[in-house]
Structure formats: C-alpha cells, structure tokens
Amino acid sequence: MTRTLEPRAISYRDDRAAGSAVDVDASSYGTPEASEKKPGVLPTPPEGSLPGGNGQQLKVLLLDDDEDFREAISLSLVSNYHLVTEAPNGVEGLRAVMKDTFDLIICDMMMPKLGGEMFYWAVTRVRPAARLRFIFVTGHKNDPKVQHFFERIHATVLYKPFTIEALHAANREVDRKLR
C-alpha cells in the first residue's frame, strides 16, 4: 500500500536506530496561514525553502521496506514542501509509477518482493525518461553486484546512514543530469 504525504508543520526526531543520521525538525516551516488552509491545499513555500534540485516543488516516490526510515525521509521532504508517495517495496512502487509520474524516485536496493535493481529496469521499460530521476539508497556499500549495477547505469547513490544534507546534494545531482 502506498501513502502520499503533503506539506504541513511537523516535528520529528528519529533516535531509535543506533547510528541514525536522520534528524528532522520541521516545526519552523508551518505558518498560521498555511495551517488554516483546507486539507489538500498546499501552502506556498517560503522563498528559497526548497533545498536541492531546481528549487521547485517535487513529486517524489520513496521506496524502502524500513517504515521508520521511510517516515523520517518523507517528513524531511514534506517539510521542504515536496509531495511524497511512499511504497514499502518495488511492486507497490511500480503500481505508483503506473498511476503517476514523479520528478524524483528515491529507491532502496534491498526490498522484499521486488528489489531496487529490478524495480529500476521495470520502471525504465515503461517510463524511459525516469532513468535519470533515481537516487538509490543502500547499506550494502561493499556488495560487488550492487556496485556493478550502480556503475552500469551511472547511478546517484547514498550509502546508509546519510544526512538530509546529503539527500539534498543528491537531489541537485539528479537535477544536473536532467539538464
């Protein structure tokens, strides 16, 4: 099942996982005007509030089987006024891709049902233009098969754990590939 999150004021800190590098405090992003708007109506992002990429609001597909990780990354992206659709595996992610197009796809490599590599090949078969929109995340830095795949497709990669700033830098790298 996928879940779509829209921007709103949030406050979250993930201290549960040892060595976690995800720290999100987005309470300063909400405004009284934005919180009074009806659900589904997006607040206008403050000037310069969208780090990474081209400074535009992005539709992001986030795939990871770790629910806590997905939530932390989603909250960070939403706090920066991006629209996020979550999927716990490649099968659900593929369903989302068949229904909608995304500006950015953040994809874990090791997931049940359909892993990151097979998800990538399935997506690029039905939406070839999406091939440059991927950021892969993995904790398997020393896996030769994973490394070979990354080299083969010239992937943008983040190794877990990573900081939110590293995610924004990867977003900018994807944006450069699209130009």
Average pLDDT, the chain: 78
Residue 78's pLDDT band, with cuts at 50, 70 and 90, is: very high
Indicate if the alpha-carbon torsion angle 43, 137, 64, 124 is positive or negative.
Answer: positive
- pTM here is 0.74
Q: What is d(CA 172, CA 174) in angstroms, rounded to the nearest whole number?
A: 5
Say how far apart CA 17 and CA 149 lie, in whole Å. Answer: 28
pLDDT at 143 over 60: yes
Contact call for residues 99 and 76 (beta carbons, < 8 A): no
pLDDT tens track for 29-44: 333 333 333 334 445 5
Query: How far apart are alpha carbons 3 and 62 in whole angstroms?
Result: 10
3-class DSSP state for residue 108?
strand
Domain boundaries defined on the chain: 4-43+53-178
Condensed to tens digits (0 to 9), the pLDDT of residues 162-175 reads 999 999 999 999 99
pLDDT band for 54, please (50, 70, 90 cuts): low
Tokens representing 92 are 């659900």
Radius of gyration of the chain (CA): 16
The arithmetic mean of pLDDT across residues 135-145, rounded, is 94
Return the minimum-mean-pLDDT range out of 17-26, 69-78, 147-156.
17-26
Least confident of 3-7, 99-103, 119-123: 3-7
Q: Output the pLDDT for position 153.
A: 96
CATH superfamily of 4-43+53-178: Response regulator (3.40.50.2300)
Share of the chain above pLDDT 70, in %: 69
pLDDT band per the 50, 70, 90 thresholds, residue 84: very high
Given a contact cutoff of 8 angstroms between Cβ atoms, the answer to whether 54 and 104 are in contact is no
